[in-house]
Amino acid sequence: MLLDPFDEFENINDPKVLNWALSESNKCINSLRQLSSYVYRKALAYYTLPVVYNVKKNPAGVFYMKRNATYSINLEKSGEVFKLVDSRDLGESAVIHNYYIDSVGRLFAYFYTERGADVGELVVVDLRDLSVVEKIRGSVSDVVFIGDGRFYYTVLHREGKCPDGAESPCERVFLRESGREELVFGSGLPRNYFISLTRSADGRKALVSVSYGWVRNSLYAGPIEDPSRWVKILEGDFRSFFIDSIGSEYFVAAYDLKGFGRILRIDEGSKVTELVPEQSTTLQDAILAGKYIVASYLRDASSRVRVYDLSGQLIDELSFEEPASIVRMYSYGSGGFLEVRYFTKPYQILEVVEYENRPVFNKFSEHKKLVDAQVVEGFAESHDGVKVHYFWIRSPRGSRSAVIYGYGGFGIALTPTFNSWIPLLLELGVDVVVANLRGGSEYGEEWHKAGMRDKKTNVFYDYIAVAEKFKSMGYAIAGFGRSNGGLLIGAVITMRPDLLNAAAIGYPVLDMLKFHKLYIGAAWTTEYGDPDNPVDREYLERYSPYHNVKEGVRYPPTIVFTGIYDDRVHPAHALKFYAKLLSYGNEVCLRLETSSGHAGSSPEVLAKEMSDVVAFLLKHLGVIEAHKSHEFDG
């Protein structure tokens, strides 16, 4: 058993621990104050840009979320826009995570948390007078209204036991009626099985996915009003998801062959018909819009859209002039919305409708292009010969420094998007590189599995290959990653302490021998492995960043940042890693945000946090010297 000299930091509620962490954080913030203040003036403009997203539609009109200085839910009807909810009315650092609408335009619900925590409150509202109908506290999601004020929702039990006695983490579906709660689906599922619930666009069917980690699913469906008749439609040792249903037929995406995904039609007699075969590109998402299947595919981490008729015949294709990503698709039955993101433009919303017997994509809303940057794509060769794709977003100011961002896990693809810190760095004269590492889904499920469990080190070597390529080009390079990406950067600096000029590690998972005992970390054993299993523990210990910080080794200057209200990844990961680096005499900065959780915070808080992170990186990338001016003086 390895000794843990800093295990006391696992009790974040201990006043001694908290006071120490806040004192260390204040030292970090004060050391960066002057440069950070300059960066913040630029950052705030990007973090408060108006961004429209999460667009939905029912007979009441078109709903959407908007982020600028706050988060809001809005309704557009007959050319007028009504603000239904604003986060500033919920709390100073409240974050609205999602919202749900019914099929008739009477009720809607939204889920929000304080300071970006995962546990919060679901609020159900009568759309006619905006009166509050119900409030439910917890980790609540997937609200489905079924008429007469009744609705289903899922609850993730993060600690203790589910109502049926299963150990947490576990998730269940409940029916809410007249203020009473009834467990209607999921009873008996063991821990680490999670449930997502939607309804078909016509409102007739419940569509349920039961997933084990991020690698396989079982799909259930049935009449929306009767959970006892929700039956298994598809199962297997592969990922799958519902697209929609029409009558007695279900449209499903399945990753059961080479992992790129194909589209199936399954009838209630379990007859399976392949509509769209597996392609050489990755099926990202799909909806039914009228009599069409609208599907997005990833090619080298950029989206392409293909439209098929309901028999699977290709009707049309949509591509984009520059790298883009379809981040969300929503069907309202006769049509749908596609949300598009770019590195250079905050957002674009397309509505797909039928016109003269053809699918047409109309612009519903968009923001003008803001960044005059060249987006270059390239590949680096990893340790085993695998080609690793990256996007290189080049600063218009010209640069010999770059921040290389990565994630590499949980089947999450890093695709083009307007993260506010990207244009900020570009304006400050720093290039940004986004690396598409194994562990993500950019190249299908096999790409994901090649970065899981005992193959996790492939992710780190992929990142190292990209970083080495830019270093060989004469670039000063900094590593940046958040959450699982924080694990990535922590592993890279302990494996190759000579590689990076600086590192930024945010809200990270770093203790790979205890992650499963901290908050909801047990849910991640399907992705990382189980430290209580001797076989898994052996490979986890080999790369665990916290356990591989060695005395006498000089690590690159590093800023470690997290938030007190992160109830997903325990702040102890960051505190322990920082303390160990510091104890061995390394240059390391700890920033502890007092108004943020894993899901973020208000745009202003996020801008302040990122300004400190960027200021630290500028300092160690030589950007201050390269662009010396009165603005940077001091």
Last residue of a domain, one of 367, 391, 425: 367
In a 13 Å sphere around the CA of 539, the CA atoms on its Cβ side amount to 13
CB atoms within 10 A of CB 547: 19
> Average pLDDT, stretch 414-434?
96
Percent over 90 (pLDDT), the chain: 89
- CB 102, CB 83: distance < 8 Å: no
pLDDT in tens, 89-112: 998 889 999 999 999 999 999 999
Query: For residue 535, what is the domain's CATH number?
Result: 3.40.50.1820
Percent over 70 (pLDDT), the chain: 98
Residue 5 confidence class, pLDDT cut points 50, 70, 90: confident
Does one domain contain both 412 and 354?
Answer: no
3-state SS assignment for residue 342: strand
How many independent structural domains does the chain possess?
Answer: 4
DSSP alpha helices (H): ranges in 165-320?
none
pLDDT in tens, 356-406: 889 999 999 999 999 889 999 999 999 999 999 999 999 988 889 999 999
Token reading at 447: 């790409």
Quick check: 631 pLDDT over 70?
A: no
> Average pLDDT, stretch 176-184?
94
Quick check: 2 pLDDT over 80?
A: no
**Residue numbers of the domain that contains 80:** 50-138
pLDDT in tens, 436-483: 999 999 999 999 999 999 999 999 999 999 999 999 999 999 999 999
What's residue 514's pLDDT? 96
Higher pLDDT, residue 595 or 61: 61
What's residue 145's pLDDT? 97
Across 431-557, where does the E strand assignment appear? 431-436, 476-482, 502-506
Beta strand 282-289 with 272-276: parallel, antiparallel or unpaired? unpaired
Quick check: 632 pLDDT over 70?
A: no
What's residue 623's pLDDT? 86
Does one domain contain both 168 and 224?
Answer: yes
Stated as kind and residue range, the H or E segment containing 21 is: helix 15-47
Rg of the chain over CA atoms, in angstroms? 24
Does one domain contain both 362 and 497?
Answer: no
Residue 234 confidence class, pLDDT cut points 50, 70, 90: very high
Does one domain contain both 474 and 617?
Answer: yes
pLDDT in tens, 569-581: 899 999 999 999 9
Last residue of a domain, one of 246, 278, 310: 278
pLDDT in tens, 8-46: 999 989 999 999 999 999 999 999 999 999 999 999 999
Last residue of a domain, one of 239, 260, 278: 278
pLDDT in tens, 47-60: 999 999 999 999 99
What's residue 345's pLDDT? 94
Residue 540 domain-assigned?
A: yes
Residue 2 domain-assigned?
A: no
What's residue 634's pLDDT? 39
Does one domain contain both 146 and 134?
Answer: no
User: By C-alpha distance, which of 540, 603, 418, 424 is closest to 48?
Assistant: 603
Residue 165 domain-assigned?
A: yes
Quick check: 625 pLDDT over 90?
A: no
Residue 215 confidence class, pLDDT cut points 50, 70, 90: confident
Residue 140 confidence class, pLDDT cut points 50, 70, 90: very high
* Length of the chain (residues): 634
Token reading at 64: 């959407």
Residue 191 domain-assigned?
A: yes
pLDDT in tens, 549-567: 999 999 999 999 999 998 8
Beta strand 431-436 with 401-405: parallel, antiparallel or unpaired? parallel
What's residue 1's pLDDT? 55
What's residue 221's pLDDT? 96
Does one domain contain both 122 and 148?
Answer: no
Residue 631 domain-assigned?
A: no
> Average pLDDT, stretch 323-328?
97
Across 224-344, where does the E strand assignment appear? 231-235, 240-246, 249-254, 262-267, 272-276, 282-289, 292-299, 302-309, 314-318, 324-331, 336-342
Does one domain contain both 347 and 466?
Answer: no
Residue 634 domain-assigned?
A: no
Residue 633 domain-assigned?
A: no
What's residue 33's pLDDT? 95
> Average pLDDT, stretch 340-344?
96
Does one domain contain both 296 and 250?
Answer: no
Residue 167 confidence class, pLDDT cut points 50, 70, 90: very high
Does one domain contain both 568 and 458?
Answer: yes
Does one domain contain both 132 and 143?
Answer: no
Residue 632 domain-assigned?
A: no
pLDDT in tens, 239-256: 999 999 999 999 999 999
Q: 3-state secondary structure string, 113-153?
A: EECCCCCEEEEEEECCCCEEEEEEEECEEEEEEEECCEEEE
pLDDT in tens, 306-324: 999 999 999 999 999 899 9
CA distance 557 to 209: 44
Does one domain contain both 88 and 197?
Answer: no
Does one domain contain both 339 and 434?
Answer: no
What is the overall mean pLDDT for the chain? 94
pLDDT in tens, 280-291: 999 999 999 999
What's residue 73's pLDDT? 98
> Average pLDDT, stretch 405-417?
97
